[in-house]
Amino acid sequence: MDLETSRGEGRRSRRRRDKRKEASAQSKTRSQHAYRQLRNPYPPVAQLSEDQIEAIHRASLTVLEEIGIKVLLPEAREIFAAAGADVDEAAQVVRLDRALVMESIKSAPSKITLTARNPERTVEIGGNAVTFATVGGTPNVTDLQGGRRPGSFADFCALLKLAQTYDVIHLLGPATEPQEIDPRFRGLDMSYAQLTLSDKIPFVYSRGRESVADAFEMIRIAHGVSEQAFPTQCFCKTVVNVNSPLQLDVSMALGIIDFARCGQLCIVTPFTLAGAMAPVSLAGALTQQNAEALAGIALSQMTQPGAPVAYGGFTSNVDMRSGAPAFGTPEYAKAAFASGQLARRYRLAWRSSNVNASNAPDAQAAYESQMSLWSALFGGANVINHGAGWLEGGLTASYEKFVIDIEMLQMFAELFEPLSCEDAELGLDAMREVGHGGHFFGAAHTLERYQNAFYEPLVSDWQNHGAWLEAGGEDAAKRAHNIWKQALAEFEPPPMAEDTREELDAFVKKRKAEGGAAPPE
């Protein structure tokens, strides 16, 4: 394969394209395409046979029937009991008859519209719709210049700005934990930042009733809707993690209940690491995941039939030598494919993740992330949480990984675009024009199409080795560093009406004066 020759051709025709180059080099931080409501055209890959899916389904119902789920919140146990579950109050264990589970989850919607305050950012979840969220909840952040450190509010805001910058991000994740802020005020500041620095779908932590109520009120103000209208549309999302195995703690159960009552999206995600918090066999971990997800979704629907809810899958494995969690492994990919099948078994939207266990934004981070993304997206995922920025198995948000992830997500967004085989695209005239052994750089067919023919990368550097070295010889992580710095320097917040902002300010001021939100019990 004579690549030198092809590069030579490139060099010869480069002069002609100088103008183009100048134009598109103006901002390296943006992309040429809008990546709003993505649709995945590929039918989902099946990991398991229908019989195998039914085996997991039946076993998970047996788990709920025989072992049950421990529910620490009395109010949640009351809702379960009222719906007909067998509740052992002394043990705090709820056992659910298989028919009750299936009857309860029937009301869960298959498609959910998430309404953003900028209508262009409104997205659908379910079917073949795909949405990407940023990383969430890391205790630490890292970047090549500043090193690894505890997450701060400045980092939370910087990562929000990056989330707002890139069209391929549809949903805000809670990025990193602003550790210096008193937990009683943290939710207020996080909601305020999300609503003023971005016009995309905000994330709300399920950290107690007061905190959730504050967030809902701020979102209501930002959208300018009435208290009556608020529960009729879905404006935000939370994630409820089951404390695997088979336990739902107080704030998580409260989250399910409060989000259901207010019509906001709750993604129930068991954290089933095979070999640690779930059986070492993948089928066992999937069975437990399914039981836990169905229990949470049942609670949501028992609270409010039709409440927006999604099936979260997070099954991975640990390193059996050290107990360390692993992500983006072959086992992770199989579990992702199977989780998609399970979610579709119940006609639920499915949430997966873009995860890895690397300590640096290096080749490992990229190949583990790709394993996660391909298995999620070709498994038919509707929501990819931790879509950009996750490193170290979620203990750190990396600025450089964030940008590298944006590149990867944009590549999938492009992959989802159809490939036209219309007559003119088959190129017969171009081949007639060029003939044998020539090249297509100057062909009419090329000139008509070159500007939008191909995805233009954000991070990838395709220069030859000499030119790359001359330009500094920076690897992908270093280039990503330059890109996020430039993106932050260029950032402009989305517009917000002055009176809306004043109302938000006043609300935050008032709630802080009242002492903020009580921490979860």
360 binds a second copy per the rule CB under 8 A: yes
Give residues 228-257 in contact with a second copy (rule: CB under 8 A). 241, 243, 245-247
Spacing of C-alpha 518 from chain mean position: 28
Question: CA 29, CA 192: separation in Å to the nearest integer?
Answer: 25
Asked if residue 445 binds a second copy (CB under 8 A), the reply is yes
Identified binder of a second copy from the candidate list 274, 299, 302, 348, rule CB under 8 A: 274
* 96-115 positions binding a second copy, by CB under 8 A: none
Out of 95, 98, 148, 485, the only residue in the binding site for a second copy (CB under 8 A) is 148
**Among residues 179, 374, 496, 512, the one that binds a second copy under rule CB under 8 A:** 374
Q: From the CA atom positions of the chain, what is the Rg in Å?
A: 24
Please, what is the minimum distance in Å from the beta carbon of residue 169 to a second copy?
17
| Cα–Cα nearest to 159, from 143, 179, 182, 180 | 143
Stretch (H or E) spanning 385: strand 383-385
Task: Determine the Cα–Cα distance for residues 391 and 369; give it in Å rounded to an integer.
Answer: 9
CB of 476 to a second copy, least distance (A): 4
Is 428 a residue that touches a second copy (CB under 8 A)?
yes
> According to CB under 8 A, which residues from 284 to 343 bind a second copy?
284-285, 287-288, 314, 317-326, 329-331, 333-334, 338
Tell me which of 75, 115, 181, 440 binds a second copy, using CB under 8 A: 440
CB-nearer residue toward a second copy: 263 or 394: 394
**Which residue, 436 or 510, is less far from a second copy as judged by CB?**
436
Q: Is 113 exposed, middle or buried (0-12, 13-18, 19+ CB in 10 A)?
A: middle
Phi/psi for 240 (5° steps) reads -110, 115
- Contacting range for a second copy; rule: CB under 8 A; set: 157-165, 254-262, 445-453, 483-491: 445-453
Residues 28, 30, 37, 70: which binds a second copy (CB under 8 A)? 70
Our CB check for a second copy shows the closer of 384 and 459 to be 459
Binding segment (CB under 8 A) for a second copy, from list 97-105, 153-161, 165-173, 368-376: 368-376
Pick the binder of a second copy from 95, 450, 482, 503 (CB under 8 A): 450
- Asked if 472 interacts with a second copy (CB under 8 A), we say no
Select 74 or 473, whichever has its Cβ closest to a second copy.
Answer: 473
- Mark the segment that binds a second copy (CB under 8 A) among 51-59, 78-86, 484-492, 498-506: 51-59
* Contact flag: residue 10 with a second copy (CB under 8 A): yes
Between β-strands 316-318 and 325-326, what pairing exists: parallel, antiparallel or unpaired?
antiparallel
In whole angstroms, the minimum distance from the beta carbon of 57 to a second copy comes to 11
Q: Counting contacts by CB under 8 A, is residue 455 touching a second copy?
A: yes
Q: Rule CB under 8 A: is residue 345 a binding residue for a second copy?
A: no
Which residue's CB is nearer to a second copy, number 298 or number 459? Answer: 459
Token readout for 484 is 């996020």
Residue 261 binds to a second copy (criterion: CB under 8 A): no
Q: Is 427 exposed, middle or buried (0-12, 13-18, 19+ CB in 10 A)?
A: middle
Backbone φ, ψ for residue 130 (5° rounding)? -125, 135
Judged by CB under 8 A, how many residues of this single chain contact a second copy?
148
Q: Is 242 helix (H, G, I), strand (E, B) or coil?
A: strand
Could you tell me if 123 and 171 are in contact, meaning their C-beta atoms sit under 8 angstroms apart?
yes
In the complex, least distance from residue 490 CB atom to a second copy, rounded to whole angstroms: 21
| Residue 164 or 272 with smaller CB distance to a second copy | 272
| Choice between 109 and 137, CB closer to a second copy | 137
Q: Is 273 in the site for a second copy (CB under 8 A)?
A: yes
Taking the least distance from each CB to a second copy, the nearer of 49 and 118 is: 49
> Which residue, 67 or 488, has its beta carbon nearer to a second copy?
67
Contacts with a second copy, 14-33, as mask; x by CB under 8 A: x--x--xx--x---------
CA atoms of 274 and 200, how far apart (whole Å): 34
DSSP collapsed to 3 states, 441-464: CCCHHHHCCHHHCCCCCCCCCCCC
The C-alpha angle 206, 212, 214, rounded to 5 degrees, equals 150
| Cβ neighbours of residue 298 closer than 8 Å, sequence gap 6 or more | 80, 83, 96, 100, 101, 104, 105
Those residues with Cβ within 8 angstroms of residue 257's Cβ, 6 or more apart along the chain or in another chain: 73, 75, 76, 79, 299, 300, 303
Segment lying near a second copy (by CB under 8 A), choices 98-106, 172-180, 390-398, 505-513: 390-398
Q: In sequence order, what are the residues at sequence separation of 6 or more whose Cβ sits closer than 8 angstroms to the Cβ of residue 452?
A: 32
